[in-house]
Structure 1
Amino acid sequence: MSSKFSTSPTLHLSIADSSRCRCLQLFHFGAALVACLLVAQSGRPEFAVLLTLCLCMWLPRLVGQPWVGWGLAWREGRWTLDRGAGPEMVQMCRESRAGPGGVFLTVQDMHGARHTLWLLADSVPAQELRKVRVRLLLERRV
C-alpha cells in the first residue's frame, strides 16, 4: 500500500432499494402526466397523446433503480463496481456530487461506459455514505 493511502479507510457498500428515490420518481412521473393534461387542455390533444406515449415508453426507466444490488468499493486509491458479474475497475467522473440528501455518482468503466448511481440516506448505511462523501471531497482536492 502506498503511503498516500496508508491511513485511508477502505469502503465497501451494497446499494439497497430506496423508498425516497421511488417517491421522487413517482413525483416526476406525476408532474409529467399533469403537463400532458395541461397540453391537452390548451388545444393540442394530438401533441398530448404523443407526449403520453413517450412517457409510457420511458416509464420502466423512470421508476426503476437499476443500481440496486450493485456493490461499490474503494481501496488503496482504486474504485471498483460490482454489477453482479464480479468487481470491475471504474473511474469516478467529475460529475459526481455529494449533497445533504444523498450522493450522485457517475463512474466510467474500463470499456468507456458510464454508469450513474444515486446513494440516498435510506439505500446505504449512514457510516458508509459518510465515507463516500469524504472520498469525493478528498478526490476533488487532488
Structure 2
Amino acid sequence: MDLVLWRHAEAEDGFPDESRKLTDKGLKQAQKMAQWLKSRIPENTRIVVSPTKRTQQTAAALTTKFETLPQIGPGATPESILTAVNWPYESDTTLIIGHQPTLGQIASLLYIGNDVGFTIRKGSIWWFNYKERNERGNAILRAVMTPDIA
C-alpha cells in the first residue's frame, strides 16, 4: 500500500488563504510533477485534495477525478489526515495533495517515527510504501521528487 504526499505548487500571496491561486511558476511546477506521476501511479489511485484553490489547481494538472476533503485543509493534524484517508487500509495507493507543515509532519512520522516535521518543497512529492511483517507495520520511503528535477 502506497501513500504519496504532494505539496501544492507555488501560490500567490494574499488573503483569504483558501482563495490563493498558483503563480505561473506554480502552474509549471504542477504540470511537471503531474507528468512525472502519470507514468508511475496506478490507474486506481485514490486522490484526495484539500479544498483550497492552490491544491485544487495542483490536482487539476494531474486529473479531474479526485475527492475534496476539508479534513486535509490548512491546519489539519497528521493524525486527522491519515484517519480521513484511512491509510494504510483504504486503497492500494493514496495520493494526498495538501499543505506544509502537516505533510512534512506526516513524512517524518512515517520515516522516523515522530512528527517533528520535514520541509517538503512546493510542488514536491514524498512517496511511501507500507508493508506488514510479523504483525508490525513498516513505512518505507520509496521516492522524493521535486519539480525542478522531475
Q: Same fold (TM over 0.5)?
A: no
Relative contact order higher in (CA < 8 Å, ≥ 6 apart): 2
Structure holding more helix per residue: 1
How high is the TM-score relative to the length of structure 1? 0.28
